[in-house]
Structure 1
Amino acid sequence: MTLTAQDWLAKIHALPLDHRVRIMNVCGGHERSITMAGIRSALPKTVELIAGPGCPVCVCPEEDVYQAIQLALRADVILVAFGDMLRVPVNVPKSQVRSLEQAKAGGADIRPIASPREAVKIAQQNPARAVVFFAAGFETTTAPVAAMLMEGVPDNLFVLLSARRTWPAVAMLLDSDTPGFDGLVAPGHVSTVMGPEEWIFVVKKHNIPTAVAGFMPVSLLAAMYSVLRQLLEGERFLDNCYPELVRPGGNRSAQAQIAQALDDTDANWRGIGVIPASGFALNPRFSGNDARSQYPDFDTEGRKRAGQMPPGCECASVVLGKINPNECKIYGRACTPKTPIGPCMVSDEGACRIWWAAGVRTNAAISAKNTPTADMG
């Protein structure tokens, strides 16, 4: 018999949970599904769901966004990027251009795209101009970038790569003194590409139950039930609650393309710092299409300030699951989707933007002084 979301929820409520359990998800899509479906308020009060480092736009280094802005403004290029990146602000005075969106409004040729194929098409349609593809993302969007390179790209297409691997951020949290969670819901789309086995270290090294989940409530609740049952029964294993798409070993073809086109590298995560082997760089064979080597004057060393967020912004703590979005001092005050200060309020995968869209409009500090806000999803 196939269980429904209501069935899984009933099974969770039937568990003898007599103490608080914290479950982290590390996928922006998971956080959006959890929030919009009202899963938080439907779970037992002893279960706390934490949004983790699941937003690639949120952790894209400030210096990479700044470099993209300067290329668009000062070089005769067409700059293309995934849509969310256009609104991410950098740390410059308000009198200066602070985002790609502002640069576009000022006359720079900046075009939002939805896939690497669009970047190739734009380069083919504009053979006399250089096209720079500002490619930020996790493994799910990095695999198509690698495939694009392996298939061959026009000589006038250059890639400004700002791609990250998901699991090293979780490993960093677990290796810290206060990881802050008891169970993990692992990302479905990343596991589809890289294989669920990437997450076995959470179980074997840290003895923390882990379950891969999809994006519908039934899969998410099944994963949460698995994690909670493992905790109660003393079992520890990696469970696959998204078997429709996640297969053992993942997508071998996509992995091979990543391995051939890209190299692992230490990488800076905005607001967090450098995490070893957490990033991707273009393999030297593609140096002719590497924007960093072809436009070295725009790679400003002085802007590499690990841990830098806009003043007052606590996006780093939100990304690491240390605080809830509405516990940031400027959430709902200076920082809203209309006037985003930090990257977590920009992206549809950012926890702050997701909570705002779900109706959480009041800062937690204000709520504590007055009547509580309506329970969020």
Structure 2
Amino acid sequence: MSGEAEARLWLDRIRALPPGPPVAIMNVCGGHERSLSMLGLRALLPEGVRIIPGPGCPVCVCPEEDLADAIALAMAGGVTLVAFGDMLRVPINAPKGEVASLAAARAAGADVRPIAAPQDAVAIARAAPSRPVVFFVAGFETTTAPVAAMLAEGVPDNLSVLLAARLTWPAVAMLLAEEDNALDALVAPGHVATVMGAEEWRFVAERHALPVAVAGFSAESLLAAIYSVLRQKREGRAFLDNCYPELVRPEGNPTARRLLDEVMEVTDAAWRGIGVIPRSGFALRGDWRAHDARARHVIAAPPRRRAGEMPPGCDCASVVLGRRQPDQCRLYGRACTPRHPVGPCMVSDEGACHIWWQAGVRAH
């Protein structure tokens, strides 16, 4: 059966389910949100079925303090700072006229370079062994595991890591624990589950009695997951369903998980505009701390007003938490567009605002 035919089959099954009250389903992956939006899947679902983008964008929640430290390191000179491309355009709260992004630091003469993979950072460090290279790492488990592998394999002495990595599930657990939580089901992230395993999401069903299904990124996998959680909801059941079995195993990727445990430890961590979420971040462990950029460099980021917050008027934190749709942000499509982003959700390819704009959704 072709992918299109299989997708039609799942859509028919969804439409054949008995009617019921409205259902709010959160997806927790920027890749899922891109597929849902670009394929127009929301418009095909029955009335009353809402798919809400959730905390699926690591760039969007990267602490402003860490980004400010990265900018300060780059502007101090004598250091090459590398980061995944999305991070370069994310703005911080800075007075007018001051450097407010890594892209602006680069324009001002700092040696800031976008990279696509950890191996690029290693290659840049090896090409200039006498120059310090700092790898600014923002990402979820899918990005963090390759960084752990990079360190475990051995890196040049001149390479250090400024770590701003986060775990996905603690943010979802925080949302589900809120008294005013209005979510009815969850589509769990395929990329993260590939690394960490489907079983990591069982708590959604067991602790919160909500249907949960792991999905891939094709229309057929996403629709299968949506069908699963809708059927569970209609039948009054809640369990974990893996609708991405071709890549996701219950235990995940044992090698990736071992490397994460070996190189990093889990810590409490700040999420931009949200605050500290317990045990939601990574820090280097043991001997690996020798590669911590904060241990190697004096970072003199200037004090800033509104430190840790989103820019004035920006509702990115509410969008990340599923409390507001992207086009409900006060700045969406007005002051904030992909060409001139104000908030991080409009910068990243995984940000819901950027995805919705690319899919043709304009401001109300």
TM-score class, shorter-chain normalisation, is: over 0.9
Q: What is the CA–CA distance in structure 2 between the aligned matches of 1:251 and 1:303, rounded to whole Å?
A: 41
2:299 match: secondary structure: helix
- Quote the sequence identity (%): 64
What code does the residue aligned with 1:119 have? A
Q: What is the aligned partner in structure 2 of residue 347 from structure 1?
A: 348
SS of the residue corresponding to residue 112 of structure 1 reads strand
Q: Match of 2:196, as an amino acid?
A: M
Following superposition, the deviation at residue 18 of structure 1 comes to 2.7
- 1:199 matched to 2:186? The reply is no
Q: What is the CA deviation profile of residues 177-229 of structure 1, one whole-angstrom value per residue up to 9, with x for unaligned ones?
A: 12221000000010000001110000000000000000001000000000000
| Gap runs ≥5 in structure 1 | 365-377
Residue of 49, 64, 72 corresponding to 1:47: 49
Query: SS in structure 2 opposite 1:58?
Result: helix
1:266 maps to 268
CA shift, 1:45, in A, is: 1.1
User: How far is the alpha carbon of 1:235 from its aligned partner?
Assistant: 1.7
- The equivalent position to 2:299 in structure 1, one of 297, 300, 303, is 297
Give the TM-score normalised by the residue count of structure 2: 0.97
Runs in 1 of length 4+ with deviation above 6 angstroms? none
Q: Corresponding residue for 2:361? A: 360
Relative to structure 1, is the Cα distance of residues 237 and 214 closer, same or farther in structure 2, using a 3 angstrom cutoff? same
Aligned to 2:168: 166
What is the CA deviation profile of residues 209-254 of structure 1, one whole-angstrom value per residue up to 9, with x for unaligned ones?
Answer: 0000000010000000000000111221100000010012100000
1:163-312 alignment runs, 5 A limit: 163-298=165-300, 308-312=309-313
Q: Which amino acid aligns with 1:333?
A: R
CA 1:305–1:174 in structure 2 vs 1: closer, same or farther (change >3 Å)? farther
Which of 119, 122, 126 pairs up with 1:120? 122
Give 2:65's aligned residue. Answer: 63
Is residue 202–residue 208 contact of structure 1 (8 Å, CA) maintained in 2? yes
Instruction: Report if aligned partners of 1:271, 1:306 keep a CA contact under 8 Å in 2.
Output: no
TM-score (norm 1): 0.94
The DSSP-based 3-state class of the residue aligned with 1:23 is strand
Q: Quick one: distance in 1 between partners of 2:149 and 2:169?
A: 21
How much does 1:286 deviate? Answer: 1.4
- Check whether the contact 2:20–2:234 (CA below 8 A) recurs between aligned residues: no
- Return the alpha-carbon distance in structure 2 between the equivalents of residues 45 and 103 of structure 1: 47
Any conservation in 2 of the 1:262–1:281 contact (CA below 8 Å)? yes
Q: Deviations over 1:245-267 (max 9, x none)?
A: 00121000000000010010000
Match of 2:97 among 81, 87, 95: 95
* Residue 304 of structure 1: how far off its partner (Å): 10
Alpha-carbon distance change, 304 to 212 in structure 1, aligned in 2, over 3 angstroms: farther
The 5-angstrom pairing of residues 73-84 of structure 1 reads 73-84=75-86
Q: Is the 8 A contact 2:65 2:308 kept in 1?
A: no
TM-align CA RMSD: 1.4
CA distance in 2 between counterparts of 1:275 and 1:206 reads 19
Aligned length: 362
CA contact (8 A) 1:185 1:213 kept: yes
**Alpha-carbon spacing, 1:307–1:97, altered in 2? closer, same or farther (3 Å):** closer
